[in-house]
Amino acid sequence: MSSATSSKVANDWNALISETNPNCIRLNRQLVAIHSSELATQFYRHMLDAEDASVFLSHDQVKTRLHGSLQQWLVTLFNIDEQYDLAATIALQVKIGEIHARIKIPMHLVLRGARYLKQHFSELLQQEPLNAQQQNECLQHFCDTLDMSMEVMGQAYASSYDRNTRSDEVYRLFSITQNLSTEREKQKGALLDWENRLMFECTVGNPDAELPTLGISEFGLWFTHKGSHAFQDYPETQIINERIKIIDEQLLVEMQQGHDVRIQNLRKVRDETKRLKFLLDDIFAKSSELESGRDVLTKLLNRKFLPTVLSREIAHARRNHSQFALLSLDIDYFKGVNDSYGHEAGDSVLQQLGGFLVSNSRAGDFVFRLGGEEFMIVLVDVNPTNARSIAENLRNNVAAEHFMLPNGERIHITISSGLACFNGHPDYQHILRQVDKALYDAKNNGRNRVIIADIDSADNESADIES
Ligand SMILES: Nc1nc2c(ncn2[C@@H]2O[C@H](COP(=O)(O)OP(=O)(O)OP(=O)(O)O)[C@@H](O)[C@H]2O)c(=O)[nH]1
């Protein structure tokens, strides 16, 4: 928690205590101390009833540790007397928030637990000889104190969770990019080893011996513990896990029934293994393209790093009072190129245009292929006048260029462009929206033109400058 945030919290919490009737503070302290075990029991009873919460709390854990910790936490929170150490109480809430983040207990479950505590405490208060106003005051104090605690926990949770997620991601990238091609060969080899062992056991091994399962083979262990994590975003990961299960839990189990089934299923297992090898190749190929951030066809940057580059350029421009511009380019009637000359010819045009854009921009600029026939250039350290002439020159030069097709023919293409200059807005989505709208207008106004987004407009008005 930042020092400004923690001093705000401490001030608010202090104010809460000093503005509360001391009798009410005393009564709450006594009630919580007397009923802490009952409150903890109620809390866990509700939580264990809910499926989403109970996965985090086994009955044993509740009995042995958490029940006691919860009671202790409640007593400490409400033990407000002359010796009450608010700084220590806040530090305890921070620690608990960090623990929740580490063990990934969702914050909404913690808040739900707090709600149950408030409900039950309200019932306890109703059993006390208090008038309505006293009851209200006491309940208010109980709820406000829990809310303060939740606020501190929530802040600690969020920053700790972010930190953990970032390091998870760094680890994921690290684990995936380390010697990607060596890893692929190693794992394909491990899969082959397992297949060979299985074949050996089935053909010349002891017929009563247990067959080696794939899940706990070198390959299976690697995939479960590392591969699945590294490739978590790919649909192939789930398919691989499913195929491993089918091999182990279906095919191999059936193979224990006798020689004939063994031989029959061996063929099926070998087909499955072949499929696994294809899936592995696919998954490794995809991740090397994506993780490297390069578009496979043009070798330009792909859209993966666009947010990072834009955020960095915005921070740089704001820090240095400099400017930059975003130029979006889209080939006109590109479908016609594919339709007339074939997809391969289309690919070749895309590749040549990629090379052309790189050689016609400065070393500091970032050239992206966003997908299809759409490109984007981040023009760094450039004022609007220069950005505009760069955009126009590119448009003219592309139109004048000959693009060579695989059949030896040469064709001309044109591009439509949208240009947006940085206007100080801190969110990169703003400039992206501006440039998208400008490109859309360039297409709708006849193509082969540059449209500049209105620099001061947040609602993406744009102005046609030239065609
Ligand atoms: N060869 C090739 N074609 C692609 C690739 N990605 C997208 N395309 C094709 O690009 C074409 C885009 O067509 P449209 O979106 O209609 O755009 P357009 O024909 O350029 O027309 P306008 O943009 O409106 O001027 C489609 O035919 C896609 O199949 C690629 O990687 N290689």
What is the residue-wise DSSP string for 188-221?
HHHHHHHHHHHHHHHHTS-TTSPPPPSTTSHHHH
pLDDT tens profile 436-450: 999 999 999 999 999
- Cα-based distances in Å from 148 to 39, 78, 143, 393: 19, 12, 9, 60
Query: Ligand 1 centre from 308 Cα, in Å?
Result: 27
CB 368 within 8 A of CB 306: yes
Q: Which residue has the tokens 């102005």?
A: 463
DSSP 3-state assignment of 375?
strand
Give the residue, by CA position, lying nearest to ligand 1 atom 16. Answer: 335
Query: Ligand 1 centre from 336 Cα, in Å?
Result: 8
Give the residue, by CA position, lying nearest to ligand 1 atom 31. Answer: 372
Q: Which residue has the tokens 């760069």?
A: 390
- Between β-strands 450-453 and 415-421, what pairing exists: parallel, antiparallel or unpaired? parallel
Q: Does residue 318 have a pLDDT over 70?
A: yes
| Cα pseudo-dihedral 268, 270, 273, 277, rounded to 10 | -130
70 lines ligand 1 (CB under 6 A): no
Whole-structure pTM value: 0.49
Q: Does residue 458 have a pLDDT over 50?
A: no
Residues 6 or more apart whose CB falls under 8 angstroms from that of 401 comprise 356, 412, 413
Choosing from 329, 334, 349 the residue with most ligand 1 atoms within 8 A of its CB, the one to mutate for a pocket test is: 334
Query: Ligand 1 centre from 337 Cα, in Å?
Result: 8
Residues 6 or more apart whose CB falls under 8 angstroms from that of 239 comprise 279
Q: Does residue 464 have a pLDDT over 70?
A: no
Q: What atom in ligand 1 is closest to the CA of residue 349?
A: 1
For residues 332 and 320, what is the distance between their CA atoms, to the nearest angstrom? 37
344 lines ligand 1 (CB under 6 A): no
Q: Does residue 467 have a pLDDT over 50?
A: no
pLDDT tens profile 176-227: 555 677 888 889 999 999 999 999 988 887 777 889 999 989 899 889 887 8
334 lines ligand 1 (CB under 6 A): yes
Q: What is the mean pLDDT of the chain?
A: 87
Mean pLDDT, residues 88-99: 92
Choice between 173 and 205, residue whose per-residue pLDDT is larger: 205
Q: What atom in ligand 1 is closest to the CA of residue 330?
A: 23
Position 461 scores a pLDDT of 37
Residue 41: count other Cβ atoms within 10 Å of its Cβ. 16
- How high is the ipTM of this complex? 0.97
Mean pLDDT, residues 19-32: 96
335 lines ligand 1 (CB under 6 A): yes
